[in-house]
Amino acid sequence: MWINRNRSPYVSNYEINLLYEDGTYAILGNGTVPDAIKQFQKKFKDKSGLAWNNRTDSAKPGKYVFLERRYSPHSDYEGEKSGNKGVKKVAGEQEDEGSPPECTLEKPVKELMELIFSQQCFSNTISALKYDANKLPLGKLSKKTDTSGFKQLKDLAALIDDPNLASSKWNMGIAEATEHLSNNYYSFIPHAIGRKQPPIIRDENLLKKEIELLQSLPDMKVAADLMKIDRKTRDSIHSLNRQFQGLGLEEMTRLDGKSSEFGHLMKYLNTSGGAAHKMTYTIKDIFRIERQGECKRFDNSEFSKIPSNRRLLWHGSRATNLAGILSQGLRIAPPEAPVSGYMFGKGIYLADSTSKSAGYCYSMNTGGEALLILCEAALGAMQTLIEADYNAGTKAKEERHAQYMGSSPIPKLSLQRLESKTHNCITMNQKDPINQHHRRVNIARPADSIDL
């Protein structure tokens, strides 16, 4: 409800809105401010079961969920115009007539930025994740909303792990409690599923899919914020230059294909693939990347005194997540996230197999191209595991990371130490589909947030 002080009479504007459809409206009240407020509070309690002053309390079973959203009346995001469905405007397209600013990035860097900030890739990824960006645009997504979604998934994970919680905590049967929590989750995180009934999250497979969505949204929001139109500079700087500057990188350099550094990385990549993954790819470009201040933080960390535990390990992620990763680093799931959605609990997952990490790039959504990161990671003491254990973090005690031992032997890294001590981002063209296999690679899960 809002009050327009420039008009009279005052009314309560009531919207009847199905979760995945546009709504219809009704106007209530006799034209006075007190009655408009009274009508609104009455309708709110009728639909939510809560008084307006208690709106942040836990949702009532079978009632509507209160969502706190602050949308600005004017959109500064490309493709977010009233009446538009989805993301239609291509990043970099200028609205005003006349010659657009020239992009001054080197061609390889320009092509990398076009991939990271591709509107088409975002549309494909959003569709694959079944997220409804029309209901809740990425640029408007708040940390509070993402946290609320994680809280619902954490409750669902606890319920899946212990069905007795349905009666002891929720005073319901297991089916009713699962449906109630699932509906709460979908109220916070809208899904594009048409008029279909959203699936009840009653097993770990569905839970993991939703966790992946919530982990991707903050990184995708970073890209959406960088793609925001700057009305002061859009006529003087190309959108790709502005987006590249927004990453705040100390360095992004394309390696010479004839350099020894390029050769070492190619050798490591070609010899570290897992035979079970049945994946082939070709290298398009390799970039040396340094985030501002990261080398200093890395060298000043407690792990820098343990050179034997420094490793060059792979991390794969969707191209649409790279803007968030490059600008803010790899991040661990928040406390609100359930631990059961992760193979070894919460952490940053790295592998010594390129094909294992590449499987998490989902190149089918980016035209066959993928971005793979090679991280220099200080692992610390190891907790060795031979099977999945999502409580590995709490069991580790003094160990700072868990190592999953696959059936392949642990490779002795003979790759020479890179003088730059930086990340390396590798662009691949994938040819064959991935055959997932979880027991043939070694996976490291650093247990704490550290610089990589």
- Rounded Cα distance, 65 and 73, in Å: 23
Burial bucket for residue 300 (CB in 10 Å: 0-12, 13-18, 19+): exposed
Of the candidates 346, 395, 397, 412, the residue annotated as catalytic is 346
Q: How far is CA 153 from CA 79, 259, 323, 392, in A?
A: 30, 48, 26, 20
278 among known catalytic residues: no
Annotated active-site positions, please?
A: 346
